[in-house]
Every structure is written in structure tokens, then in C-alpha cells.
Structure 1
Amino acid sequence: MKKLLFLLLLIPGFLVAQKTTILKGTIKNNLNEPIEKVSIKFGNTGDVTDKDGNYSIRIPFNEEITLIFSHVSYRTFTKIITATSRNAIRYSPTLTLKTEELKEIVVKDIRKKAEGLTSIDANKAKNIIGPNAGVENILMTLPGVNNNNELSTQYNVRGGNFDENLVYVNGIEIYRPFLIRSGQQEGLSFINSNMVQNINFSAGGFQAKYGDKLSSVLDITYRKPTETATTIDASLLGASVTFEGQFLNNKLSTITGVRYRDNSLFVNSKQIETNFRPRFTDVQTFLSYDFSEKLSLNFLGNFSLNNYDYQPISRRTRFGTVANPLELIVFYSGQEKDKYLTLFGALSADYKITDDFTLTTTASRYNTQEEEHFDIAAAYNLGEVDANIGSQNFGEVDFSQGIGSQLNHARNDLDALISNIQVKGTIKNGETQWNFGAKYQQEDIKDRIREWEVIDSLGFSIRPPFHSSNNQPYAPFEGEITPYQNIRKDNNVAINRVSGFVQFNQRSFWNDHEVFYNVGIRAQNWTVTGNGIQSKSQTIISPRAQFAIKPNWEKDMLFRLSGGLYAQPPSYRELRNFDGDVNVNVKAQKSIHYVAGMDYSFKMWERPFKLTTEVYYKDLSDVNAYSIDNVRIRYRADNLTTAFATGIDLRLNGEFVPGSDSWVSLGYLKTEENIDNRGFIARPSDQRIKFGILFQDYVPNLPDLKAYLNLVYNTGVPGGAPAYADVYRFQERLRDYKRADLGVSYIFVDANKQFSTGWLSKFKELSAGLELFNMFDIQNSITNTWVRDVYSKTQFGIPNYMTGRVLNFKVGMTF
């Protein structure tokens, strides 16, 4: 009788199970963070997510229902679902903040504000319009961050150069190839924006837990996937595929990205006619395995291959003034074949000893194998253009000021291996936190330099600078032809470094005002061995501090101060001078930072806005002066320079258009250097004024049709000097940099627009659009080509113009 009663009780449950199925998932926001207390309902049935964002409800089988996802802080989202299988269904939507306050640049918490870190929405970073889409592209919209080369992902921060910026991915320092000398050779940034979860950036005055560089920190975290997805992006500039998922009972998570880039579309818009075939390939993977709640093992790997085949044919550049126009015509022969192969692998273990004590151990190795081979002969004619409108030869060259040729040759090969192991720890006690770490690094560089240049002017071979035995044409020269420049070096350099840091962080209250501060110190010891010469062991100490206060005022404001002594121990590039010689005794460059900032959040037109202001001053000593040619940096390797940088950065973010954020950036910078006590002159990175606007809009009656406008105006930087010339005699600036990029895209599917039937139901995201780069076809230049005038013995700086107007089509999808 009891068994019969038990069976009768089971029958209703069995019938219900046959008519329903389980729907479950994890609800997150745009920062990939789980959302607690989200209500999921259909009819009178529902559930609420737990602290990890998980939910589970029963829905009817083979019946169309409308699910409603709602939360007090997020936009309500609806989804029509029909369960066609009795197996459990998984659905994990992403909710969007109602106000979307500062969605493009979102500060996750007040602690990051107090630390002077700008947090950037990873989903938005890859959508911002620009020739190099990705994280660096959005950095260049910020004040204090400059780059006048749209083919490069390198950037200058507050008067520093490309080598002065720290880049971390999952706490591991990232390096770039050594020999690249132009932006069009770079291809791809290390950072794959489709794999990124968090982006934090500091333009100066950063904490002691970050490394030993002079200018900035970019701290990237790759995400651990929670569900299976494949993302494909394709355009006329290349394509990428990213796969992510969980395996082995969700203990193993993996995300892998493959990218291909082709810059032909940009290069073909330049003034130089070429046969050009750039091929840039990149494969990255991030694996994470959770042994338990306390122990996880992670692997980050990267393979990158850049093949750069370049065959210039001709060039025609017109410059000068309306009254005195000049034209340079060049015909080339020869070619350049470069290859940059980089391999990177890092293995790390995260161990949670207690809830308040964690340790991370990381071992990594970076290898770059680079070949730079070219033989290019150029025959040029520099002439005056007939500016007489009534002349039959109007617009044509009627008088040649300089005729000559040059031959450039290089067989440069470099192999660098950088290995390190580090330990980092964090100890928390309420609002108090200690960070500490130690690192050992070994660098082994083998550099073979074979590079020379022969210059001919009207049949006379120009001798090297300071050559005194050439009296042509008054006396015949009977010696051998000597290259104008000639470098033949074999450098074998090893660097051993030991570094460490300790940092104290505290949050407290002063009366009713919230106060944050941290104090830390870094130290590094290094020894260089090069070409049989060993340097003396050198040590630097770098104390740093930050203080911030959030007053208990009606207005939402935060004030902060930061600074310290920042030192940059020399890398191999800084040890090598213009002639290829290595000075193993180069000292660390030093900079004292003083930074004061304010954040003011307010409402205007009933919409959220934020104004961020920072003023800074950097006092630099033991500076290693350098010259820049495109993205190639060459150092003096002598520490005989002092310098300073000062300026102010302002940024206004907000909903200028309801529901769509935009921002305006304005920066003023002055940076000068004093070489050998000869007086202060502008540094190569002296970008006085920067003004930028990133404007986003949509069609009111068609909100899925979106437009992005990126406007940049930079005043001109110093145009450099000819090889071996006195930089104090060449202080003219390049023309101002002006650029406007426009993007239009249509969103077919996204987190707020899902389909349960039809071909669009197969996608989690789908969009397509057009991008118009340099829409006004403005001729911007990044460097000068120096050509001699045989009559006046002067040298003309002919601007090397960047890309013209380019139209690109792109499509992106996730499924």
C-alpha cells in the first residue's frame, strides 16, 4: 500500500517534468562581472540570481514564452524562447546599465579613481573608429597620449617616448621587437582586444607595484570564459577569429585568438608608388585550470610573424609655399625584405593561502628573431616649380636645385631572449592592504649590424661628416669612395636584473571625508656584460606615494596627489649609440613626478557627465637623449642631458546625445632638454597642444544604426635633423596633425536584441559597417627626408606624408 501511494505521488511530478525543461545561466554586465538579484520571470514563474549571477527556472516544453530580465540598476531585457528539447537549456545574457554613465571610460570603484587609474570598457575599446582598432586606439583619444602616425600602435605619454611605457598582460610585462623603424612594419599590437576583460591606464604618478619606466602604465587582464563562443571580425584590412569555452567540468577555461593584418589599403594611399605585400600573423592563447578554490594554473602564449616585403618604385612630393613651391621626384630600384618572429610564453600559479593572503608565481620567456635586409637605390631631382599662372609651363619643374642619388644597404640581424621569474603577494586586513614582490630577469641579446649609405650629388660622392681630405671640385680626389654612413658591429650583450617592491595601501575617514593613500618603494640592481666588457653593478631606489580625498560634499568630487622618484634602468636599445657601439655603463634615466588631479561628476541636461583634470611636472636627470625617425629611436647612450615636462590634461565625458557617451580631450604639454649644457631646446616629443573629440550618435528612429566620429588636432612636433647634424641647428617643426575618421555601423544582433527563430537566432552578436579614414584627405607628415641643394649647400626637409583617404568595410559576429 505504501509503495502504491509513493508511485501515485511521483506521477504528477513525472508529468510536469515531461511538459517542462530547465533553463539556467549566468547573467553579467558589460565588464563581464556577475549581477546579483536579477529577476527572471515569465507569467507567474520566476527566479532571482545569486551572488555569482546564476539562475535556474523551469519553462514549458515546445511553447513560446517571453522571459523578462530586470534589475533596479540595469535596463530591462526581454527574450522570446521556445524550448525544442527536453535537455537543459543554457542562456546567459549581458545586461546594460540604465544610465550607461561614462560607459566608454568606466571607473569600476572609487579606489581606482584614487589611484589615478582610468578604467576603460573593453567592449568599447575594440569598436572605436581608427586605423589600428583596439586598446591603443582608444588610449590615443585621451589627453596626454599622443601619436602622429596612424600606422603605428606606439604612443608618447606626457613628453616621453615609445620605450618609456609599461605594458602588462595578466601581470606579465610585454616587450616589442627591437629593429622596427616604421609604423607600417609593426602590423599587429600584442594586445588582442577580443580577449580583453579589464583595461587600466595611468599617465603618470603610478604606484610602486608597477615597474621601472618613466612615463605610463597600461595594465591589461585577459578574461576567463564562462561559456562557449566564437567571434569573427573581418574587414579589408584583415580578419580575426577568437574561440572561448570551458571544459573538464568547467575547471579548464580557454580563449584563443588568431589574427591576420594587411596594411596594403593604407600604404597604397600614400605618396610613394610601391609593390608592397605586408603579412602580419598572430596567434595567442590564455588557458586557466582551477585545481581547487585556492589554486589555479594559468598559461599565456603568443606567436607572431611579420613579413614585410617592400619594393618602392617612385615618389613625387610637392611642398614649400604658394609663392615658392618646390617638388621632389625620386625613382627607386631595389627592395626591402624584413622578418620579425616573436615567441612568448608565461606560466603562472595563483594560490589563495587564506581569504586575505594570496600569492602569484610567474615564469615567462620572450624571444624575438629579427631580420632587416634591404638594398634600395634612389635617384632624385629637387626643383623649383613654375608658379606663374600665365606661363605655359605652369605647375612644372623649370629649375633643378639638387640632383643626386643615394644607395642604402642593410643586413641587420638580431636575436633577443628575455627570461624571468617573479613572485607577487597581497595581504589584506580590513581596509589595509600590503603588496609585495620580487623578480629576477636575464636578457641575452645578439645583434649583428651591417648598414651603410652612399650619397652622390652631381657626380661627387659626399664624404662622411667631418671628412677633411675632400676638396672637390677644385682638386681631384683620388681616394676610395667612402660611405656617408657605415656601421659594422657585432654586439653580444647580457643583462642580469634583480628587482622588488613593497607597497602599503590604506582607506580611512577624516571626519566625514573618505581618504585613500598608498606608499611604496621599488629597487632594482643590474649588471651589463657586452662585447667582453662588464659594467659595474648599479642600483636604483624608487619611492612613490599617492593620496586622495573624497570630501563629504553635496557635489561629487575627488582630489588626488601623487608622485615620486621614477627610474628607468637601460634596456639594450638605450645602451647602443648612433654608431652601434654599446656603452655598458649607461645609468638609469630618472624623473621626479608631481601630479595633482580632480574628478568632478555632475549632471547636465539631466544626463551624467564627468570632468577630469590633471596638472603635472616631471624633472628629468641623467637623460639619454635620442632622435626619432618614424618609430625608430636612436640613443646617444651618454646620460649627458637634463630635461623637464610640464602640462595640463582635461577630459569631459558624458551623454552629449541621450543614451550615447562621447568625450572631449584637451592637453597642453611643454617638454625641453638641455644637451651638454648648451641650453634648452624642444624634445622630439614636444607636442604642445592636443585636442580630440570622440562623438557617438545614433538615428533616433533607428537606434541600431550608430555613427562614430573621431577628430584629432595636434600641433607639430620637431621635424628632426639630418644624420650626424647638430640638432640645435634644426628646430623647425612639422606641420600640425589634423585627422577625422568616421564610422557607421548597423547592429543586427546584440545582448539587447536577440532572436529565437530565423537565421539571426544563430548569432549572439552581429554587426556590419563602413569606416572612412582621414575623411578630409589631409596630408599629415611624421618625419622629413633630407635632400641637399647643390647651390646653397643647405638641406631641405621634405615631409614624408602619411595615409590619405581610405574606405574600409567590416563585419563582426559572435555565435
Structure 2
Amino acid sequence: MKCIKLLCLLLFPAVLIAQKATITGVILDANNLPLSNTNVRTILNGSVSDSTGFYFLEIDADQQINIIFSHLGYKDVILNKLLLTTNETFEFNPILRTDITQIDEVTITASGKKTAGAITTIAPEIIRLIPGANAGVENVMKLLPGVSSNNELSTQYNVRGGNYDENLVYVNEIEVYRPFLIRSGQQESLSFINSSMIQNVKFSSGGFQAKYGDKLSSVLDITYKKPVSFGLQIDANLLGASATLETSSKNKKLNSITGIRYRDNSLLINSQETITNINPIAFDFQTYENYTVSKKLEIGFLGTLSSNEYRNNPTSRTTNFGTLNEPKSLTVYYAGQEQNQYKTVSGALKATFHVNKNTTLKLIPSIYHTVEEESSDIIAQYQLGAISSDFGEVSNRRRLGTQFNSARNTLDALIFNLEHKGIFNKNEGKLEWGIKYSHEDIRDQLRESEFLDSLGFLIRPSNIDFINNQPADPFDAPILALESVNATNYVQTDRVATFVQYSKQLDWKSNAVYFNLGARSQHWSVSGKNISTNSQTVFSPRAQIALKPNWKKDMFFKIAAGVYHQPPFYREFRAANGSVNPDVKAQKSIHTVLTNEYSFILWDSPFKLISEAYYKDLSNVNTYTVEDVRIRYAANNNANAYAYGAEFRLNGAFVPGTESWVSLGYMKTEENSDNRGFIARPTDQRIKVGILFQDYIPTIPDVKMYLNLVYSTGLPGGSPNYSDPYLFNNRLRDYKRADLGISYTFVDENKRAAKNSWFRGFRELSGGFELFNLFNNQNSITNTWVRDIDTKQQFAVPNYLTSRILNLRIRMRF
């Protein structure tokens, strides 16, 4: 054992230095009212709550700490054996009573407090520090075993065999929507979530509670900060910049956090094979305001504004592909341009009313509006050649044809939500309920076409009969696009969703038992111009049960099961030809998730091993194809499917004072359309490995290293448009990527600048560099299907992603 420990210390050099974690929250009395001037102390230090009951205390990380909450006239609350990792923030809201001393023994490990709700917590500081082409929450989530995304230009992700549309995202209990028309990752730029504004992050990859909405795959639950003092943070790098302002009034009743972000993806896009003149500009403004009206009433406001303009003038592209025996090269010459705009604005109010010590009521109205426009005219002439094995030169070039793609798409979506939630606590039990009304008004115009010709002969749709006897007879048939979509849709959807759930903790033979039982229902009605009105209702029972046995080893077992429905949104109503089918049913999935958490101390540091096995039985499946990040549904329910897998994640302080993890996942998902047999779904990614590692130089601890590595087996390569997916079973190559970040901390909470130093004006200052795609792997997300008109053969040409890129970064806080 000593040899193993010595080897690990040699591999992961570090020194034991004092690192900090934070505990924060609001202290309440028995009437659920804020309690000011409460002492919060450890053996080494202490703090006092303010007039709103808020407290903030820094403690030593990676050590078991006892914390005492005391106030004259009230019995103490004692929090025993609190164990947090470096930079972890733990929220604890104690209630002080006059009749009993409360003692709570909580073991917090690197992934947070054990819960019965199938929730993973992620430290916000990790999200802000870990490098990635799209740094942020999604960048870190892709290192979790059940989450996959083989496109560093996109913030979208798949969870356990689901697609991008099957994930719920909340910010302060307000549901977030993503743009509709974006078709490629390089058009996305910014995620909705501003990482600099985050307080807490919770994520569930399946088996989540009834209080979360109607989606099939996952929940990402974000909480933005409530600042207690002034702060200004600025981040800048070669891809963009951001500024975050935190303010709080003198009486702490009004606080706000506001973020502005700018991003230009040119550095990433220009590393790809297509030579282009590109101008992808994204701007984002977000603010969250919170006002405490009284001891019982609190009002919050979340406002967002984003504008994304994407202009692209491609000139040429050369891609080498094929096999070692038959290497090929595709050369494409372009003319034309692509100009897209995506503009969204949203606003939401959140009123929280504490009726009494047991009951809390919430009212959340929100509105979301997006206007998206696509204008594209691209002409591509392409030729195919063989690569010489001797000199690597391209020979035997053949001109395959000319392709003309045109698009004039516009979408205007207005979504209004009005939601009520309630919580009732009594005798260690919690009853929660909610009702939500939503109105969706979608106005969509699709104008897309593709023309293809070779040597002047126009290739026509295969489903149209005509006779071409040129040159003996003149060819006077009208010119038709090989593929085209021409549709105008006006669709309104009204939804009413309700949920109720009850949770409680019990003691059973000295063992702790947690359970949560609940159910959801949703009724929706679809109407619109030239479509028939249709209504449907679904019901979804769900349950989670957890057991914490009274063993010497810290083990925790959970089982979650339930029925999950995904009522169709507008994208799922719309078929590939642009028509709307209002009769599309809700997709249905029966989840079963088994979980074991084993927490232990190794080398005087906390570790946790999380193991999960799951099975999903899907029916009423609406089949789809994926082109980059664009999903095109068949708008039917003619398939059934399944997904099963196992996942493991070991995380903890591999290097003292840091948090790292290693994850491994296996997953298989297949679908059966019209009883033709099971084939791989577009998200069938079998093996996934993710590594997040943090380290620092022992002699210079201010020099820190952040590394994330991802390996996953190849996804199905897809099929050409309007082709039978049962005839195309190829897979993309395996995805391999490593991103490295090196930073130096000039000033932070533990390293104050000297009085005569010009650094003295900073509360925090760090700078460094990042290497994206460290090993310069050629990864691809989709194939471009090229037709050889002479032989009628179609070639799957991989669309390679970004190569190795150097990025410089600076971060400062005042």
C-alpha cells in the first residue's frame, strides 16, 4: 500500500497547502423568519449573520470540520463532520429553535451531499476554470459518463441515448429554451448559461423527480448568485470577453448580478478544412435581480437578451478520406454566401411568499421570444481524386458535379408560461405541488432547395417519372430541385401541466431511508392554420428510494423508476417535408436506474465512487436524423426503442487541494421502425471515457494545470437525406480530444498583493494559456454525402472538426 501511495504521489506532485471551501445560507427561526446576529463558528474562525439572516464562512477544505450555529435564546445547531473539497460551496439553511439542540452529521465529498433525487452536483469554480473550446457548464458535463457530445463547436449534448431536444434546462426554476433553426455547431457561439453568474449546479441524467418537466433524458438545474457585496469580474481571451457585475444594497434587501458576453468563433472555425471568410458575432446580456420586500415576500427577475449574427463566405475545401488501400481526396470550390441571424429576448418574474414556517408559495410568469432568419445561396463544384501512395499527390481527378443550395427560412416563436409552485414541510416530510400553463405561438416559413447537375444534365427527384431522349428529342420538362422544402406553418399549442410529490426521511433499524413519490400530468391542444385541432393527455408516475445503511463503510444505495413522457414541441410536429402533423403523440420512456455511492478517505483526502446501471424502454418513438446539430423528425410514432448501460465515476482529491475525476460509461440504444428490426439510433455511442484532472507545481503552487480528456467510440454515420437508414450502417471514427490549460495566479483570497504593488487594486488576477485539441486529433461529427453521377455511388466524406489551437486568457476580479 505504501508503494502504491508513493507512486501516486510521484505521478501527481503536490504539496499540502491550506485550501478553502465555503459554507453559506440563510439562518431562520421556528417561524421561518430570518435570524440576524447569529454566531457561526468553527474552532479556528467564525462569522455572524446579517439582518436578512444571510451568513458566509470560509473553512479549511479536505478536512472534517464541526460548525456551531448559536444565538442568545435559541438552542444550538451543530453540524458535525463537514468535509468539503477545495473551492466547493455548500448551502446550509439551519432553523434555530428554542426547545431542542439539533445535531446533524453530514459528510460532504467531492461531488456534494448525498440525495435521493438522482442528482449530481458540480462545483461552479470547476466550470469557470476547466478549459474547452466552449468553456462552461456543458463543457464540464461532457466529462460525465452518461453525457456525450462529439462537437466542440456546440454546447448541445446527448444523455443516455437521447437527443438534444430531450434535455431540460432551468435557471432559478425558469425553463430555458434553445434556438430552433441553428443547424451547425459553428453557428451557436454562446450557451444560454453564463458561467460567471452561477451559484449552484445540479444535474440528473435520468430517474429525476416529478417536479421537473416533461422530457425523456435529463435535467440541468442552475441557480444564479445572490450577491452580498460589490464585485466586478472580467474575463478575456482570443475567442471573446465577458464582464460580470455584482451589487447589493446597504440593507441587503436588493441584490443583483448582471453579465455581458461577447464571442467570435473565427479562431475555431478557421482551423477547419474549409477556407472561408467568416464573421460569427454573438452578444449576450443577462441580469438577475432579487428584492426582499418583507420577511415573508421575495421577488426575483431574470432578464436576457441575445443576438447572434453568422456570416460565411466559403471559398474552397480539401478533405482526404477513404482507406489505406484506397485513399481519396475531395476538393470543393464554393461561391455564394450564408447569412443567418438569431435574436432572442426573455423575461421572468419569481415571487416567493413564506406563508408560515411550514408553507411556501411561488408564482413564476415568464415570456420567451425568438426571431430567427436563414439566408443562404451556396454553389459548390466538387471533384474526386485518388491519392498516390508514393508521393501523396492527387491523381485521376473526376469532376462529379455542381451543387446549388438555397435557403430562405424565417421563424418567429413566442412562448408564455404562468406557473405556481408550493412547498409544505412538516415532521421531516415535504409535500410539493405545481401547476403550469404554457402558450406557444410559432410562425415558421421554410424555403429550401438543392439542385445538382453533371456536365449540364440536371439530376431530378427520383420519385418523378419523365423521359429524357436528348439530343434526339428536346427536353422541355420543368427544372425541379433534387430536394426541396416549401412550407408555411402557423401553429399554436396550449399546455397545462401539473405535478405533486411527497418526500420524507425515516429511520429503519438504525438505517436512514429516503423516499420521494410523485406524479406529473400534461394536457395539450394543437391548432393552427390549415391543420386540424388535436388534444392529448399523459400521466407520469415517478419514485425514488434511497437507503443509507448503518455500516462502517459509507455506502449509499438508490433506485429510481418512473414513466417519462415528452409531449411534442413544434420541431417534433414538423416532418422533413415541412408539413405539420398535429396527431404526433408524446414519446414515452420507462426508466429504471440503480445507483451505489461509496465515499471513503484515501491518503487523508475524500473520494467517492459512483456506480449506476439503467434501462430505458421507449415507445411511440418519433424517429429523426441528425445533420451536425440539426434534428429532422419524421413526425410519426412508428418505432419503439431501448437504451441500457452502466456508468462509473471516481472523483476526489487525487492531488491534495484539488478535485479531479475519472468516468467510464457503456451504453447501447437501438430502434425498430415499422417492425423492420432493430438498428442503431443516431446517438448510439457505446463507450465513453472522461477524465478531469487538476494539478499544480509543488514549488510554485500558483502555477496550476487543468486537463480534460474525452474518448468515445464512433457514432452511426447517418444516411443521405430522404434515404433509408436501414441501408446505411457505417460509423464515424472514434472521438478523441484533450484540452489543456495552464494558469498563474497573481492575486486571490489567499495571496494578497503588497501595498506598493500595482496588483493591490485586484481581489483576483490570473492569466495563462489554453491548448485546445492538444494532440491534434481529426474528429468528425457528420458526413457529407457526395454523389458520383456516373456510377450512382455515394461517398461518405467526413466533416472534420477543429485542429490544435492556442488560446490566451486573463481573468480579473475587483
Give the alignment's TM-score, normalised by structure 1: 0.88
Of the candidates 37, 40, 46, which is equivalent to residue 40 of structure 2? 37
User: Is 1:424 matched up with 2:426?
Assistant: no
CA RMSD after TM alignment: 2.4
**Cα distance, 1:709 vs structure 2:** 1.2
Could you tell me whether the CA contact under 8 Å between 2:300 and 2:349 is conserved in 1? Answer: yes
Q: Which string of whole-angstrom CA distances, capped at 9 and with x for unpartnered residues, describes residues 510-557 of structure 1?
A: 101100001000000000013232332200000000000000000000
In structure 1, the residue matched to 2:435 is 438
In structure 1, the residue matched to 2:48 is 50
Of the candidates 725, 728, 743, which is equivalent to residue 727 of structure 1? 725
Partner of 1:719, secondary structure, is: coil
**Cα distance, 1:384 vs structure 2:** 1.6
**Cα distance, 1:115 vs structure 2:** 1.4
Task: Letter of the 2:792 partner, please give it.
Answer: K
**CA separation in 2, counterparts of 1:473 and 1:181?**
39
Give the alignment's TM-score, normalised by structure 2: 0.88
Partner of 2:370, secondary structure, is: strand
Could you tell me whether the CA contact under 8 Å between 1:665 and 1:692 is conserved in 2? Answer: yes
**Cα distance, 1:749 vs structure 2:** 1.5
Q: Which string of whole-angstrom CA distances, capped at 9 and with x for unpartnered residues, describes residues 270-302 of structure 1?
A: 000000011000000001111111101111000
**CA separation in 1, counterparts of 2:687 and 2:23?**
33
Task: Letter of the 1:279 partner, please give it.
Answer: I
User: Is 1:357 matched up with 2:342?
Assistant: no
Task: Letter of the 1:803 partner, please give it.
Answer: T
In structure 1, the residue matched to 2:670 is 672
**Cα distance, 1:128 vs structure 2:** 1.0
Distance 1:432 1:750, change over 3 A: same
Distance 1:227 1:493, change over 3 A: same
**CA separation in 2, counterparts of 1:550 and 1:669?**
28
In structure 2, the residue matched to 1:282 is 284
Alignment of 1:11-26 (within 5 A): none
In structure 2, the residue matched to 1:806 is 805
**Cα distance, 1:786 vs structure 2:** 0.5
In structure 1, the residue matched to 2:478 is 480
Partner of 1:184, secondary structure, is: helix
In structure 1, the residue matched to 2:16 is none
Could you tell me whether the CA contact under 8 Å between 1:34 and 1:52 is conserved in 2? Answer: no
**Cα distance, 1:248 vs structure 2:** 6.0
**CA separation in 2, counterparts of 1:752 and 1:622?**
56
Distance 1:98 1:518, change over 3 A: closer
In structure 1, the residue matched to 2:553 is 555
Q: Which string of whole-angstrom CA distances, capped at 9 and with x for unpartnered residues, describes residues 239-298 of structure 1?
A: 000001112632211110000001011001000000001100000000111111110111
In structure 1, the residue matched to 2:770 is 771
In structure 2, the residue matched to 1:258 is 260
Distance 1:442 1:31, change over 3 A: farther
Distance 1:74 1:249, change over 3 A: farther
In structure 2, the residue matched to 1:703 is 701
**CA separation in 2, counterparts of 1:544 and 1:474?**
69
Distance 1:101 1:786, change over 3 A: same
In structure 2, the residue matched to 1:80 is none
Return the index of the structure with the highest Cα Rg: 1
Distance 1:519 1:460, change over 3 A: same
In structure 1, the residue matched to 2:323 is 321
In structure 1, the residue matched to 2:245 is 243
**CA separation in 2, counterparts of 1:751 and 1:528?**
55
Of the candidates 206, 213, 216, which is equivalent to residue 211 of structure 1? 213
Could you tell me whether the CA contact under 8 Å between 2:21 and 2:58 is conserved in 1? Answer: no
**CA separation in 1, counterparts of 2:83 and 2:553?**
22
**Cα distance, 1:662 vs structure 2:** 1.2
In structure 2, the residue matched to 1:17 is none
In structure 2, the residue matched to 1:121 is 123
Task: Letter of the 2:428 partner, please give it.
Answer: E
Task: Letter of the 1:278 partner, please give it.
Answer: P
Task: Letter of the 1:595 partner, please give it.
Answer: V
Q: Which string of whole-angstrom CA distances, capped at 9 and with x for unpartnered residues, describes residues 481-536 of structure 1?
A: 21011111110000000011000001001101100001000000000013232332
User: Is 1:595 matched up with 2:593?
Assistant: yes
**CA separation in 2, counterparts of 1:736 and 1:508?**
47
Partner of 2:262, secondary structure, is: strand
Q: Which string of whole-angstrom CA distances, capped at 9 and with x for unpartnered residues, describes residues 134-175 of structure 1?
A: 111111110010000000000000000000000000001000
Task: Letter of the 1:385 partner, please give it.
Answer: I
**Cα distance, 1:718 vs structure 2:** 0.6
User: Is 1:100 matched up with 2:85?
Assistant: yes
Task: Letter of the 2:539 partner, please give it.
Answer: I
**Cα distance, 1:74 vs structure 2:** 6.8
Could you tell me whether the CA contact under 8 Å between 1:39 and 1:71 is conserved in 2? Answer: no
In structure 1, the residue matched to 2:462 is 465
**CA separation in 1, counterparts of 2:186 and 2:286?**
22
Partner of 2:613, secondary structure, is: strand
Percent identity for Structure 1 against Structure 2: 54
Of the candidates 293, 296, 302, which is equivalent to residue 295 of structure 2? 293
Of the candidates 751, 754, 767, which is equivalent to residue 753 of structure 1? 751
Task: Letter of the 1:242 partner, please give it.
Answer: T
**Cα distance, 1:451 vs structure 2:** 0.9
Partner of 1:37, secondary structure, is: strand
Question: How many residue pairs get matched?
Answer: 748
Unaligned runs of 5+ in 2: 1-19, 28-38, 66-81, 91-107
In structure 2, the residue matched to 1:5 is none
In structure 1, the residue matched to 2:30 is none
Partner of 1:660, secondary structure, is: coil
Partner of 2:654, secondary structure, is: strand
Partner of 1:364, secondary structure, is: strand
User: Is 1:762 matched up with 2:747?
Assistant: no
Q: Which string of whole-angstrom CA distances, capped at 9 and with x for unpartnered residues, describes residues 176-200 of structure 1?
A: 1100000111111110011110100
Distance 1:70 1:756, change over 3 A: farther
**Cα distance, 1:401 vs structure 2:** 4.6
**CA separation in 2, counterparts of 1:651 and 1:629?**
31
Distance 1:472 1:571, change over 3 A: farther
Q: Which string of whole-angstrom CA distances, capped at 9 and with x for unpartnered residues, describes residues 710-735 of structure 1?
A: 11101000111111111101110000
Q: Which string of whole-angstrom CA distances, capped at 9 and with x for unpartnered residues, describes residues 618-640 of structure 1?
A: 00000000000000000000110
Could you tell me whether the CA contact under 8 Å between 1:505 and 1:519 is conserved in 2? Answer: yes
**Cα distance, 1:48 vs structure 2:** 4.0
**CA separation in 1, counterparts of 2:159 and 2:433?**
27
Once structures 1 and 2 are overlaid, which stretch shifts more, 478-487 or 213-222?
478-487
Task: Letter of the 2:453 partner, please give it.
Answer: D
Partner of 1:718, secondary structure, is: coil
Task: Letter of the 1:100 partner, please give it.
Answer: T
Partner of 1:778, secondary structure, is: coil
Alignment of 1:174-253 (within 5 A): 174-247=176-249, 249-253=251-255
Could you tell me whether the CA contact under 8 Å between 1:687 and 1:717 is conserved in 2? Answer: yes
Partner of 2:122, secondary structure, is: strand
**CA separation in 1, counterparts of 2:542 and 2:531?**
34
Distance 1:297 1:379, change over 3 A: same
Once structures 1 and 2 are overlaid, which stretch shifts more, 358-367 or 598-607?
598-607
Partner of 1:285, secondary structure, is: strand
In structure 1, the residue matched to 2:788 is 789
